[in-house]
Amino acid sequence: MIHTRKNLAAKLLATALLSVSTVHAESVNPIPTVTDGYRFLVTPYLWAAGISGNVDYDNTQRVHSHISSDKVLQNLSAAAMLDGEIHYGRWGLMGNGAFAKLSHKGSSSHVKEGLSLNVDSNTDAWLGVYTVAGTYTAYAGQSLYLDALAGVRFLNLNSKIQLDASIVNTPYQGDKTLYSSLHTSDAIAGVKGRFRLGESSWYVPFYLDAGGGSATAKFTSQQALGIGYALKEVDLALYYNNLYYSLSNGHVSSYVNMTGPALAATFKF
C-alpha cells in the first residue's frame, strides 16, 4: 500500500509539473538575480528518509541495522522540516531544520522451565538535525548559480525505552525506563546552487557539504541532487537527499546514514 501511494504521488507530481510547464508557455528563469537589496526564500519540504548504520567495537563490526523509509513512516508520530535563506547582495544566511519523533510498541514472550515471561516495550526517539551557515554568491550567470557556505550542524538524538515485564500465573511485575542521548556540534563547509536546463524553467538543484572534528563526530556530510521547475513566486523540486555521520566514543564507533527522496516547495519574496 505504501509503495502504491509513493508511485501515485510521483505520478501526480510529474503530471503537475508537466501541466505547469504547458500552462506557462513563457519560461521563468530559475537562476536567482543578485541585487543590492534583500531576497528571502522559505522552503518547507518532506523527506522520506531510510536509516542504516553500523556499531563497531575496537574496529570490529558488531551490529548492523537498516530501517527502510516505509518502516520510518509507519513509526513516525511527528515531523517538521523547513529551510530558509536571507540574502543581501552576494552575502547571505541560511538555516535548515529537520525534526522527527518516532514511536514504537513491541512485545515478546519467553518460556523457560514452565514459566512464561512477557515483556512489553514502548520506545520513543527524538531526532533533530539543524544547520546554520553564512553564504556568499560565488557565481550567478544565466545558467548557473553557486553559493559557497560555511557554518555549523547540530545533531540531537534522545530516546526513552519503557520496559514492562510480567511472569504468567505469578504476582511478579517489573518495569524499567532506559534513557539515552547524543549531542554534537560540528563545523561544515560546502556549496549549493542550481543549474538551468537550456532556456527552460527546469533546473537541477544541488547541495554538498562536509565537516566534523568534534569530540563525538569524526566526519559528517550531506549531499542532495534533484530536478525542479520554477514559477514566478514558487519553485517545485524533487530530489534525493543523503546525510551521513561517523561517530566515535572511546572503543565504540558507529556510522549513521539517512537517505531518501524529498519533495520541496520554495517560496520567493
Q: Is the pLDDT of residue 199 over 80?
A: yes
- For 149-185, how does the pLDDT look when each residue is reduced to its tens digit (9 = 90+)? 999 999 998 878 776 766 666 665 667 777 777 889 9
In sequence order, the β-bridge partners of residue 145 are: 140, 194
Q: DSSP readout, 210-265?
A: EEE-SSSEEEEEEEEEEEEEE-SSEEEEEEEEEEEEEEEETTEEEEEEEEEEEEEE
What does the pLDDT look like over 31-87, one tens digit per residue? Answer: 999 999 999 999 999 999 888 877 676 666 555 667 777 877 777 778 899 999 999
Cβ–Cβ under 8 Å, residues 105 and 122: yes
* 8 Å CB contact between 92 and 147: yes
Looking at residue 196, its pLDDT comes to 97
Q: Which of 257, 262, 194 is nearest to 222 (CA)?
A: 257
Express each pLDDT in 67-79 by its tens digit: 777 877 777 778 8
Name the helix (H) or strand (E) containing 5: helix 2-23
pTM: 0.79
